[in-house]
Amino acid sequence: MASSSVLADTKLTLLDWFVVNDTVMGGLSESRLVVGAHSVEFKGDVSLRNNGGFASVRAPFNLENKNAEQLSVVVKGDGKQYQLRLRVDQYLDGPAFVYKFQTSVNKTQTLVVTEDDFTLMYRGRTFYADYQLNFDDVRSLGFMISEKQAGKFSLEVQAITPLGRI
């Protein structure tokens, strides 16, 4: 299988990522992304006050011509559930393809996901459309914490690698 670290290939820097928290609807959650030498850390504090309850980051991300059949995502978590979110357009508020995953406290995990593992969602609800996810169409990648998981959180992303045919 051909593979290369997307984090290294695309040189994602702090300026490429942006935060979208529940503050867009009056919530009080806070998050940030810390870029290290070999990983990025999504961290912050989820607040349920003012009808809040989510924090997220996203960045431009292109899998076109990578021949990806799977994505390998290496993370170290804190025992909370997160979402890997892929978008096929650049819209801030459109539907996203979501893969939910549970982390283990301070343990590195490798997630290997296919296009079929994602559910199209919009504002926390399943969104029905004729379109099926194709990794070639992905234009944005993000991570979210939600589902009333109040308190401090930390998700370290160590690698994102497309896996596919040579």
- 144 neighbors 84 (Cβ within 8 angstroms): no
Neighbours of 10 (CB within 10 A): 15
The phi-psi region of residue 67 (left if phi > 0; otherwise alpha if psi is between -120 and 50; otherwise beta) is left
pTM of the model: 0.89
Domain range enclosing 51:
6-164
Report how many domains make up the chain.
Answer: 1
Q: List the 68-76 sheet strands across, edge first.
A: 30-35, 40-46, 151-164, 68-76, 108-114
- Residue 158 falls within a domain, yes or no? yes
Question: Domain for residue 77, yes or no?
Answer: yes
pLDDT digits (tens, 9 = 90+) for 18-65: 899 999 889 999 999 998 888 899 999 999 999 999 999 998 888 888
Q: In the predicted model, is pLDDT for residue 1 greater than 50?
A: no
d(CA 42, CA 145): 10
Q: How many CB atoms neighbour CB 128 within 10 A?
A: 8
**Residues facing residue 22 across a β-bridge:** none
Helix (H) or strand (E) run with residue 10 in it = helix 6-10
76-113 confidence digits (pLDDT tens):
999 999 999 999 976 667 899 999 999 999 999 999 99
Q: Tell whether 1 is covered by a domain.
A: no
Determine, yes or no, domain membership for 108: yes
Could you say which DSSP state residue 16 is in? T
Give the model confidence (pLDDT) of 57-76 as tens digits.
Answer: 998 888 888 889 999 999 99
Count of helix runs (H) and strand runs (E) in the chain: 1, 12
Two tokens, residue 35:
């870029």
Residue 11 counted as domain residue: yes
CATH number at residue 16: 2.60.120.430
Neighbours of 14 (CB within 10 A): 12
Q: Dihedral through CA 62, CA 65, CA 71, CA 73, nearest 10?
A: -50
